[in-house]
Amino acid sequence: HQQTNKEEATAVLHDFYTKWGKVYSHVIRSLKDIEPDMLVFYNYPKQIRASIYSTNMIESFNNVIKR
């Protein structure tokens, strides 16, 4: 479920860190290092976030071509 703003997303992410930090400390440390880049799409208006958010760049590009 995507959060409505960056503050909510950050809170959910930090809850995730708390829950899994002891078990997966290396992964959590890596996520913390890239956190600003991970949530960068929240800097854009909600109307265009869906078009820039994708876990697969090729899939995102194909969706643009289809439109």
Please, which residues have CB within 8 angstroms of residue 55's CB and are 6 or more apart in sequence?
Answer: none
The whole domain housing 28 covers 6-66
| pLDDT per residue as tens digits for the range 2-19 | 788 899 999 999 999 999
- How many domains would you assign to the chain? 1
Residue 1 lies in a domain: no
**Contact present, 67 and 37 (Cβ < 8 Å):** no
For residue 53, pLDDT beyond 60: no
For residue 29, pLDDT beyond 90: yes
The pair of structure tokens assigned to 12 is: 């959910």
Residue 52 lies in a domain: yes
For residue 54, pLDDT beyond 60: no
Return the pLDDT at 1: 64
For residue 38, pLDDT beyond 70: yes
**Contact present, 63 and 26 (Cβ < 8 Å):** no
